[in-house]
């Protein structure tokens, strides 16, 4: 249970991003396989603190930032661990950041269609210096805070604009960012 106080920003500090899953990745999920491309996209482009404002393609984790990336899919259960560390381009300057999360969730595909993608990633995040994507809103430099990120499928309750918004990883990156995101 999370309570107010100790720097917890409360409900006014929620962020949102969209994860795109390719058709071939859904086909792999239907076979009980978790494609490396999807694991990498989740780690590099979606384990980001989105509560601090608008992110761009330049604010994502780079390949060299991935220190550990382990995710498995067994009987519809997704588990994993991801450790990230490195310099991230923030709105005003660069920031050395660390993130270590554990993942747990459920994935289902029925008749070739992804019907469930309920996954949570939780763990300590820390900015070592400077300010970075959203991190400046969470306490002192060098002091870890808990970052929780949830993934779910879009529903009819989401607006058309919410469903059509591209991932932050492609914002202001042009065709090159779209291609890199969908690798």
| Structure token digits, residue 95 | 């920031």
| Structure token digits, residue 166 | 């591209």
What's the pLDDT band for 43 if we cut at 50, 70, 90? very high
DSSP state, residue 46: I
How many Å apart are CA 19 and CA 118, to the nearest integer? Answer: 12
pTM over 0.75: yes
Residue (of 119, 112, 183) closest to 149 by Cα position:
119
**Stronger pLDDT, 1 or 39, i.e. the higher one:** 39
pLDDT at position 100 is 94
Checking if the pLDDT of 2 tops 50, the result is no
| Structure token digits, residue 59 | 């604010």
| CB-based burial, 102-135: b 16+ in 10 Å, e otherwise | ebebebebeeeebeebebebebebbbeebbbbbb
């Amino acid at each position: 249970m999370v309570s107010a106080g100790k720097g917890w920003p409360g409900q006014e500090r929620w962020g949102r991003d969209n994860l795109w899953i390719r058709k071939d990745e859904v086909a792999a999920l239907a076979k009980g396989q978790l494609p490396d491309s999807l694991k990498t996209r989740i780690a590099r482009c979606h384990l980001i603190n989105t509560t601090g404002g608008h992110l761009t393609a330049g604010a994502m984790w780079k390949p060299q930032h991935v220190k550990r990336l382990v995710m498995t899919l067994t009987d519809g259960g997704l588990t994993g661990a991801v450790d990230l560390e490195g310099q991230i381009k923030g709105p005003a300057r660069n920031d050395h950041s660390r993130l270590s999360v554990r993942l747990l969730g459920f994935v289902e595909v029925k008749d070739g269609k992804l019907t469930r993608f309920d996954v949570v990633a939780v763990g300590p995040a820390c900015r070592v210096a400077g300010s970075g994507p959203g991190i400046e809103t969470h306490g002192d430099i060098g002091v870890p805070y808990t970052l929780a990120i949830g993934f779910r499928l879009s529903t009819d309750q989401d607006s058309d604009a919410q469903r059509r918004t591209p991932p932050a990883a492609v914002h202001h990156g042009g065709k090159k960012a779209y291609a890199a995101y969908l690798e």
